[in-house]
């Protein structure tokens, strides 16, 4: 196995790890705790499963750790294709790390608000529950805003894949489509928020086509041994 193949498989593994924890964070855990429009029920769920709730917070921190190593691995993988684009790709991945940390802080807020501390004695129980629910609403909005960067980083990724010769060009096309779909979905959130959820899920197959293709290829193949010049 060549050094490039090993690096490619490392990229695939790190991408899979980051994506898995991100999926837990935004798909699995919210439904376990958030009851839309019912702050008291949300607070009760948090109180009944504090360890599971804390694990939800951990998913963001772990996703951020994966992102750091992924950025480094991506740069090593593509620096000989186009150093400038490889740097841009790494930067778009790294900029998401403080965003993951911010989401983790928003998750910690309900634990502090609902811990029964005398610090919050001037607030009623209903008010504290409403504040906790509001923190989780901000978490959801933060995820929607962050989704723009899920698209932005796929665009230089797509270009580098297309030009590399050691990953099939068709996967680069799929990645470009996925990146554009994410960016358009995020733009809808900022400009036409009422339509965002519809657009996001309608475009979901496009995200999956690009991301599943690249992760699958890198995990299995890593990189072509017979380099095809761009």
d(CA 154, CA 137): 27
| The token pair that represents 94 in the structure block | 């790294």
| Chain segment 104-154, per-residue pLDDT in tens | 898 889 998 998 777 888 899 999 999 999 999 999 888 888 889 999 999
Indicate the pLDDT class of residue 200, thresholds 50, 70 and 90.
confident
Length of the chain: 230
* Averaged pLDDT, 162-179: 94
By the 10 Å C-beta count (0-12 exposed, 13-18 middle, 19+ buried), 106 is classed as buried
Question: Quick one: which H or E segment has residue 44?
Answer: helix 39-48
* Averaged pLDDT, 29-58: 92
* Averaged pLDDT, 4-25: 93
Indicate the pLDDT class of residue 84, thresholds 50, 70 and 90.
very high
* Averaged pLDDT, 154-163: 96
Indicate the pLDDT class of residue 230, thresholds 50, 70 and 90.
very low
Please check whether residue 213 is in contact with residue 171, taking contact to mean a CB–CB distance below 8 angstroms: yes
Would you state the pLDDT for residue 228? 45
| The token pair that represents 102 in the structure block | 């911010």
∠ CA 108-114-117, rounded to 5°: 105
Q: Is the pLDDT of residue 224 over 80?
A: no
The whole-chain average pLDDT of the chain stands at: 90
Please check whether residue 164 is in contact with residue 83, taking contact to mean a CB–CB distance below 8 angstroms: no
Q: Is the pLDDT of residue 229 over 50?
A: no
Q: Is the pLDDT of residue 1 over 80?
A: no
* Averaged pLDDT, 184-212: 90
* Averaged pLDDT, 189-216: 90
């Amino acid at each position: 196995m060549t050094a490039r193949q090993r690096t490619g498989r490392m990229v695939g593994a790190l991408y899979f790890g980051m994506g898995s924890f991100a999926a837990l964070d935004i798909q699995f855990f919210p439904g376990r705790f958030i009851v839309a429009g019912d702050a008291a029920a949300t607070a009760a769920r948090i109180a009944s499963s504090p360890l599971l709730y804390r694990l939800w917070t951990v998913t963001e921190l772990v996703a951020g750790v994966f992102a750091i190593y992924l950025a480094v691995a991506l740069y090593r993988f593509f620096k000989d294709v186009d150093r400038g684009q490889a740097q841009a790709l790494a930067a778009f991945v790294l900029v998401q790390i403080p965003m993951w940390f911010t989401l983790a802080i928003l998750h910690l807020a309900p634990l502090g608000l609902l811990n029964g501390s005398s610090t919050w004695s001037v607030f009623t129980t209903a008010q504290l529950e409403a504040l906790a629910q509001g923190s989780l609403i901000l978490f959801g909005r933060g995820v929607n805003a962050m989704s723009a960067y899920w698209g932005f980083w796929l665009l230089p990724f797509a270009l580098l894949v297309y030009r590399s010769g050691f990953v099939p060009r068709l996967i680069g096309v799929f990645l470009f489509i996925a990146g554009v779909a994410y960016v358009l979905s995020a733009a809808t959130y900022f400009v036409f928020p009422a339509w965002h959820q519809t657009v996001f899920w309608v475009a979901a197959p496009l995200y999956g086509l690009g991301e599943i293709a690249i992760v699958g290829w890198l995990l299995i193949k890593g990189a072509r041994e017979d380099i095809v010049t761009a």
